[in-house]
Amino acid sequence: MVPAGSTLADIVSSAILGGVTIVQLREKTMSTQAFLTTARAVHQVTQRHNVPLLINDRIDVALAVDAEGVHIGQDDMPLATARRLLGPDKIIGVSVGSPDEAREAIEASADYLGIGPCFDTKTKSVRRDELTGPRGVRAIWEAALQAEGPVPARAVAIGGIGPSNAAHVLGYSRSMVLPGTQARALDGLAVVSAIMAAASPRAAAAQLAGQIRHAADVA
């Protein structure tokens, strides 16, 4: 998803200048060598801006480039194993699509949850019955907040999110006050195409960052 004339590193740099606070590198088809080369180039950019880089799926690539963390899904390496390999200081995020998955991730000490897929997306093949919608995001987030274990530092919604629906997702997904818990807003949004395919990744990131800040202010 890189337009002709610009490199992935250029787009990542623009997105960070717009307000992106964490970058995840997700490559499903590249050779390991190409993935490593790309990860090193992107890491140079993220380090220059002091923004953490997470590697999707590949603990080995994260270790090889000394990325700040990884993002794993339900079918990837289990969190406890990833933690053992990465040590205590790396960030480990987990994709969760149900209250049970959220509870399990919290109990295994995930640093953040990626909740979704919220809406349909062209970036990944998802089944209609997997889509959570904003209502599902909130239910999953509430389950996480009630789980036994460290309350996650962060939770983001993912899947088909962009400037036209971000405010709705953020507002709706704010947890309700449950016995023994405090209402908490989502910490942010994870987006791919809304930034990577935008005419101006920097402007798209700035718009989304503004919506996230606004949601935090009213929470």
Does residue 117 belong to the site contacting ligand TZP (CB under 6 A)?
A: yes
Considering beta carbons, is residue 16 or 204 the nearer one to ligand TZP?
Answer: 204
Dihedral sign for Cα 53, 119, 17, 219, please. negative
C-beta of 186 vs 191, nearer to ligand TZP:
191
> Which residues are CB-contacts of 81 (< 8 A; sequence separation ≥ 6)?
none
Identify which range of 14-22, 61-69, 86-94, 120-128 contacts ligand TZP by CB under 6 A.
120-128
Strands (E), the chain: 23-25, 53-56, 69-72, 91-96, 112-115, 154-158, 188-190
Distance CA 48, CA 87 (A): 24
Instruction: Considering only the stretches 98-106, 121-129, 131-139, 141-149, report the one whose residues sit in contact with ligand TZP under the rule CB under 6 A.
Output: 121-129
By CB under 6 A, tell whether 160 contacts ligand TZP: yes
Does 73 interact with Mg ion (rule: CB under 5 A)?
Answer: yes
**Interface contacts to ligand TZP, rule CB under 6 A:** 95, 116-117, 121, 123-124, 158-161, 191-194
